[in-house]
């Protein structure tokens, strides 16, 4: 089905009318992208809805995109109904023309602030095919006087896809658009095709991919292997991916898992069920005395779960590419954070280009909703942006004066926090909110990952390198579009493995970010990396997010020094200025 142009025409007419009614005075149009469906209540952590956020576009320019967790310090915070009105006071004016763009969820499509002063409710049938759904906005800023505003509901599926528009400007001609996650509004995966400036929905639903991706967050066997509780489901996907790399997948194990319905029936709180599954594993494969992460058969089971998902995604995307004749791939949703799947797509599907946005999971929902409304208003986004959208208004210009001092500290083995400019949107640190250290030392890697960050032993750290170094040490990453946002995996040549000792994974791969000289928003980190390479022959650094376990990435530059002390770093860089401890 091709997207309707009815609401696009209405939007354009509406803004022409606004200008006429104000005597030709141009009033700023502010689009407020919002992801804030109210979650169900089960325990103290998110159940179905997580990572609330708000994005502000003023006259087509993105002012900020704020994941709620960065403001409150609560990981995956889903209580924006308590904070939105306070946030909006900082960004909108009385005379602004306001449009709300609300991304929905299978849990619901309405938004109601905690005090009831803002209510946004759909004024039409909710469906994936209707890509802009009109909404009623009841907004009483002071609880008494109503403020007029427009509103639209954007299907979760479209919000995922459209967050890529903010970084691309438009979808390439003959693009396959894919969203895969645990659950959107009416699906866990949707597939679209962009041709001749039209987006057609190919198919959507729950299906087999949903079952396989759920193995990465709510599968009780996986929780038992990793010793996690059900409330920790949002941290499991990355951990399973890391742990799986230590195993050897097999068709036999995949068949056994499938025949047993992936052990979805298992109660991981029941000693009887745990003992039953332990006995089944022992009888089928290898004696297993207990669930211990060092057991090879458990590694093999997790590797097989990973491979089953990988094969299913690659097969599905390959078939659609062939049927449609698609040349380009836009891949979004939480499933696109699986680096091994991404690399398999890149190596096997033969697209002319692949793009995955840095905020491909639900952290990009409000950006996607706002961008989609802007796109439908103007026939395309007005500008292409960088991932550094988490702006606090405390940012200052970044000085380059202390880079050589930072290099001296790094070479002697110090660990340093970076807090330059605006923060990254999405779950990965990309050089503005990073902890960096030498990457040629296993001891430093253990210190950073296990002591400072309290991460599990099987989880890898990633390197950050400049493009000049990549030409020599990791040329395949330099050529990959996945390297810009640390979303791919590449094998390190044998002669360089010692230099990558602290970031190389068990299979000889690294999940690198390559910083280009042309990246105007990452000049400081590029300068640092370039000098390390040119003057010292050091190809890159450990790069992990500036936060401690269980907390979101650092938000406010003013808190960087205290955060660094808390983590027992040797120093922090704030807007280019070095602060030693």
pLDDT tens digit string along 462-485? Answer: 999 999 999 999 999 999 999 999
**Considering only CA atoms, which of 193, 224, 366 is closest in space to residue 298?**
224
Do the beta carbons of residue 402 and residue 577 sit within 8 Å? yes
Domains and CATH numbers, the chain: 6-160+363-378 (3.30.420), 168-357 (3.30.420.40), 403-580 (3.90.870.20)
pLDDT at 378: 82
Backbone Cα Rg of the chain: 24
pLDDT tens digit string along 11-55? Answer: 554 555 554 455 556 689 999 999 999 999 887 789 999 999 999
**Considering only CA atoms, which of 575, 534, 580, 571 is closest in space to residue 401?**
575
Question: What gap in Å lies between CA 469 and CA 533, rounded to an integer?
Answer: 6
Are β-strands 462-466 and 513-515 bridged in parallel, bridged antiparallel, or unpaired? parallel
pLDDT tens digit string along 118-172? Answer: 999 999 889 998 889 999 999 999 999 999 999 999 999 999 999 999 999 999 9
Residue 105 CA: distances (Å) to CA of 153, 185, 188, 199, 362: 10, 5, 11, 21, 10
In three-state form (DSSP H/G/I as H, E/B as E, the rest C), the secondary structure along 141-156 is CCCCCCCCCEEEEECH
pLDDT tens digit string along 282-313? Answer: 999 999 999 999 999 999 999 999 999 999 99
Q: Tell me, what DSSP letter sits at residue 390?
A: B
Question: What gap in Å lies between CA 10 and CA 16, rounded to an integer?
Answer: 10
- Structural element, H or E, at residue 208: helix 207-214
Question: What gap in Å lies between CA 539 and CA 493, rounded to an integer?
Answer: 13
- Measured at the CA of 494, the angle between CA 491 and CA 498, to 5 degrees, comes to 100
Q: Is the pTM of this model over 0.85?
A: yes
């Amino acid at each position: 089905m091709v997207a309707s142009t009815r609401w696009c025409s209405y939007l354009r007419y509406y803004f022409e009318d606004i200008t006429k009614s104000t005597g030709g005075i141009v009033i700023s149009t502010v689009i407020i992208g919002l992801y804030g469906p109210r979650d169900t209540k089960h325990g103290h952590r998110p159940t179905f809805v997580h990572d609330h956020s708000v994005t502000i576009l003023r006259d087509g320019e993105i002012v900020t995109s704020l994941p709620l967790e960065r403001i409150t310090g609560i990981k995956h915070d889903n209580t924006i109904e308590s904070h939105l009105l306070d946030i909006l006071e900082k960004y909108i004016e009385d005379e602004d023309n306001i449009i709300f763009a609300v991304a929905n969820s299978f849990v619901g499509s309405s938004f109601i602030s905690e005090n009831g002063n803002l209510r946004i409710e759909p004024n039409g049938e909710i469906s994936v095919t209707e890509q802009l759904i009109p909404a009623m906005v009841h907004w009483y800023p002071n609880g008494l006087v109503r403020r007029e505003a427009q509103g639209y509901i954007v299907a979760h599926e479209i919000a995922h896809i459209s967050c890529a528009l903010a970084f691309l400007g438009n979808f390439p001609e003959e693009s396959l658009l894919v969203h895969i996650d645990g659950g959107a509004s009416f699906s866990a995966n949707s597939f679209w095709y962009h041709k001749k400036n039209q987006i057609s929905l190919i198919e959507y639903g729950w299906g087999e991919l949903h079952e396989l991706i759920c193995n990465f967050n709510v599968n009780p066997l996986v929780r038992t292997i990793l010793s996690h509780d059900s409330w920790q489901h949002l941290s499991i996907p990355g951990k399973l991916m890391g742990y799986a790399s230590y195993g050897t997948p097999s068709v036999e194990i995949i068949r056994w898992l499938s025949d047993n319905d992936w052990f979805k029936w298992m109660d991981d709180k029941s000693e009887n069920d745990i003992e039953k599954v332990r006995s089944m594993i022992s009888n089928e494969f290898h004696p297993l005395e207990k669930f211990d992460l060092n057991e090879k058969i458990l590694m093999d089971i997790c590797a097989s779960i990973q491979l089953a998902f990988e094969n299913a995604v690659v097969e599905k995307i390959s078939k659609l590419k062939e049927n449609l004749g698609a040349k380009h791939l836009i891949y979004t949703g939480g499933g696109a954070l699986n680096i091994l799947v991404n690399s398999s797509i890149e190596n096997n599907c033969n697209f002319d280009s692949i793009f995955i946005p840095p905020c491909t999971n639900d952290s990009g929902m409000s950006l996607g909703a706002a961008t989609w409304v802007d796109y439908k208003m103007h026939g395309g986004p007005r500008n292409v942006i960088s991932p550094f959208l988490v702006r606090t208004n405390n940012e200052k210009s970044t000085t380059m004066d202390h880079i050589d001092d930072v290099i001296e500290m790094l070479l002697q083995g110090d660990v340093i926090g970076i807090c330059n400019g605006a923060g990254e949107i999405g779950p990965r640190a990309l050089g503005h909110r990073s902890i960096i250290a030498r990457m040629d030392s296993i001891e430093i890697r253990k210190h950073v990952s296990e002591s400072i960050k309290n991460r599990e032993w099987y989880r890898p750290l990633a390197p950050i390198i400049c493009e000049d170094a990549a030409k020599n040490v990791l040329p395949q990453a330099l050529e990959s579009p996945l390297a810009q946002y640390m979303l791919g995996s590449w094998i390190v040549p044998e002669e360089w493995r010692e230099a990558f000792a602290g970031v190389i994974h068990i299979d000889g791969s690294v999940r690198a970010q390559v910083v280009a000289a042309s990246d105007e928003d990452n000049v400081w980190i590029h300068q640092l990396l370039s000098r390390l390479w040119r003057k010292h022959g050091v190809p890159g650094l450990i790069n992990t997010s500036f936060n401690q376990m269980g907390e979101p990435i650092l938000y406010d530059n003013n808190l960087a020094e205290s955060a660094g002390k808390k983590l027992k770093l040797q120093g922090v860089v704030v807007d280019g200025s070095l602060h030693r401890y």
